[in-house]
Amino acid sequence: MRLFASSLLFAILCFPVAVFADPGFGLGARVGGYGFREVTGGELSWEDCRMNGTGLFGTVDVSRHFFGELSADLYHATEGPVAAGMDRTSFHTLAAVGARFFPEFWLTPYVQAGGGTEFTRIDLDGASDRFVVPEAFMGVGGELSWKALHFGTTLRVIGMALPAHGHGSDGVRHQHLDEEGAAIELRRETAAHVLFSLRYTFR
């Protein structure tokens, strides 16, 4: 909830800049992967329900420093969760605002925050269901620029939905419902998300 509120506040504060500035535009494609936070035996990892995917995004450079972004990404569960009993496909539609530092330099770091909607299908332990759930994120990244091409890397922390599931006691991660025949239930969880992108700007 705090992540969602912080992202929303950041977007509201930057909105006037987007309205009154003279924009430039960019289009890009990206690949990425994310995993949910998991604590097992007192150790923290980001390996729960690992998912990989690709997406398309557009940017509006509303000033030298501030920009907006709209994106659509399709993600699928990796072999690990599928072998353990969970299959998942998610379509993410997101809007974000961000701020770039040193925009005239060949390497430009930035911060970003936003949110949107996840359309997801989950198959878990013989049960199957579809959900539409909100999500929000904050992230940091950078772009390496050459003329109108920009090669980027972004690390995001996302607040999103994860199916409630149990784990095996034999040292192997299992993705199973807590009770046989139960319906799939979602809980809020944090995921770490890494993206690699290529963007072209129109001036």
pTM of the model: 0.84
Domain holding 175: CATH number?
2.40.160.20
Q: How many domains does the chain have?
A: 1
pLDDT in tens, 108-162: 999 999 999 999 999 987 889 999 999 999 999 999 999 999 999 999 999 999 9
HEC string for 59-95: EEECCCCEEEEEEEEEEEECHHHHHHCEEEEEEEEEE
Is the distance from CB of 16 to CB of 150 less than 8 angstroms?
Answer: no
* pLDDT tens-digit series, residues 69-122: 999 999 999 998 888 888 999 999 999 999 999 998 999 999 999 999 999 999
Q: What is the structure's pLDDT at 40?
A: 75
Residue 108 near residue 142 (C-beta atoms within 8 A): yes
Question: Domain of 163?
Answer: 2-202
Give mean pLDDT, residues 25-29: 97
Question: Band of the pLDDT at 52, cuts 50, 70, 90?
Answer: very high
